[in-house]
């Protein structure tokens, strides 16, 4: 089941949004980022269970350091007949140390090798800024680089032409950066998506409107306000799922605050990445397809916006391409 970019209230776990290149992205994805103390094997088991439950969109990234385990889970569910490869939509991300045009394919092939897959369904630039080539999984500080992401994009277009990726997009780009990419001389493929932080405290209304005008799908991460990893989230920031308005709306529908927070984004016409390795919550999260928020409740949740960003990546704040100095 594939729908247009316009929000549809008749959503199911099988609903996909049609991307402007003709491919289709499932509206609900499994986010697989986990902090260092979480055993890598947890990602394997959670991904297997998610596929058993009906999740078909798996979102991962080279920098997460768990593509081997996520790939193992996907391949095991293909091997046992649960799914075919073409039914799985896998999103990978080009890490910032591979932005030099001569390194882009190397970055992609590192992910393909770890996953042991022949192609990715979607490959996106993880951030709009570049860092010097280094061991991305070491604890060494990031060293700024000045690669023009428009040149990186040209190499991504080459990866699509080579059949190694089906679709290409971006993540964490602001409007100005999207505009620069879209107006690039010789642009062959427009980005199909922009993956950004998006939740009731950061409703991304202006960015979302801009993306809609250019037929770019917004993909939402940190939809529940993050796992509050103290290495990158301010411990004093408010806990989104404890918001009294969100909780009152959830009580009205006899749903969890998490389900309502995700349903809000789905009804806005964005794709939701639900990050959980907990079997109970993986099942519960699919409850978003069992109810519909009324317009007045959507408006009430919209009113919770405070332009609060949990994932600020402040270590890169001085980089010229740091995206969050702009309003949107």
Question: CA distances (Å), 54 to each of 77, 133, 165, 286, in order?
Answer: 11, 38, 23, 9
Contact 285, 259 (CB under 8 A): yes
210 is catalytic: no
Q: Nearest-5° angle of CA 269, CA 13, CA 241?
A: 65
- Token reading at 69: 């385990």
- Token reading at 76: 């095991």
Query: Which one from 33, 55, 62, 64 is the annotated catalytic residue?
Result: 64
- Beta strand 2-3 with 165-171: parallel, antiparallel or unpaired? unpaired
The residues, ordered by sequence, that sit 6+ positions from 91 with a Cβ below 8 Å of its Cβ are 29, 57, 58, 59, 60, 120, 121, 122, 123, 124, 195, 219
> Per-residue DSSP letters for 147-178?
--HHHHHHHHHHHHHTTSEEEEEEES--HHHH
Burial 291-306 (b: 16+ CB within 10 A, else e): eebeeebbebbeebee
Contact 222, 262 (CB under 8 A): no
Question: Cα torsion at 312, 316, 321, 325 (round to 10°)?
Answer: 40
3 state DSSP class of 55? coil
- Answer yes or no: is 57 a known binding residue: no
Backbone phi and psi for residue 29, each to the nearest 5 degrees, phi listed first: -125, 160
- Token reading at 172: 């964490």
Question: CA distances (Å), 119 to each of 84, 108, 124, 140, in order?
Answer: 14, 9, 13, 30
Closest CA to 272 of 308, 218, 320: 218
3 state DSSP class of 32? coil
Show binding-site residues. 126
Residue ranges for the binding site for substrate?
Answer: 126
**Which residues are designated catalytic?**
64
């Amino acid at each position: 089941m594939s729908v247009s970019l316009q929000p549809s209230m008749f959503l199911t776990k099988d609903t996909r949004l049609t991307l402007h290149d003709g491919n289709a992205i499932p509206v609900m994805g499994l986010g697989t980022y986990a902090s260092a103390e979480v055993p890598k094997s947890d990602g394997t088991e959670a991904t297997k269970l998610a596929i058993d439950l009906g999740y078909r969109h798996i979102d991962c990234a080279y920098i997460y350091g768990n593509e081997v385990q996520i790939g193992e889970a996907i391949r095991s569910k293909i091997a046992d007949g649960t799914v075919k490869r073409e039914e799985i939509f896998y999103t990978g991300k080009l890490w910032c140390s591979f932005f030099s045009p001569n390194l882009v394919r190397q970055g992609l092939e590192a992910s393909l090798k770890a996953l042991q897959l022949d192609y990715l369904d979607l490959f996106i630039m993880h951030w709009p800024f570049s860092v010097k080539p280094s061991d991305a999984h070491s604890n060494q500080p990031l060293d700024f680089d000045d690669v023009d992401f428009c040149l990186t994009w040209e190499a991504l277009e080459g990866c699509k032409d080579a059949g190694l990726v089906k679709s290409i997009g971006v993540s964490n780009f602001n409007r100005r950066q999207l505009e620069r990419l879209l107006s690039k001389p010789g642009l062959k493929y427009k980005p199909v998506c922009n993956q950004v932080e998006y939740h009731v405290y950061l409703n991304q209304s202006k960015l979302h409107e801009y993306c809609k005008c250019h037929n770019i799908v917004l993909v939402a991460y940190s939809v529940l306000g993050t796992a509050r990893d103290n290495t990158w989230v301010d411990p004093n920031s408010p806990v989104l799922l404890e918001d009294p308005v969100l909780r009152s709306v959830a009580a009205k529908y006899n749903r969890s605050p998490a389900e309502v927070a995700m349903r809000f984004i789905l009804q806005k016409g964005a794709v939701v990445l639900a990050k959980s390795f907990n079997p109970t919550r993986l099942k519960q999260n699919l409850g978003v397809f069992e109810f519909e928020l009324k317009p007045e409740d959507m408006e009430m949740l919209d009113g919770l916006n405070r332009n609060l960003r949990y994932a600020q990546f402040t270590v890169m704040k001085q980089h010229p391409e740091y995206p969050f100095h702009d309003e949107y």
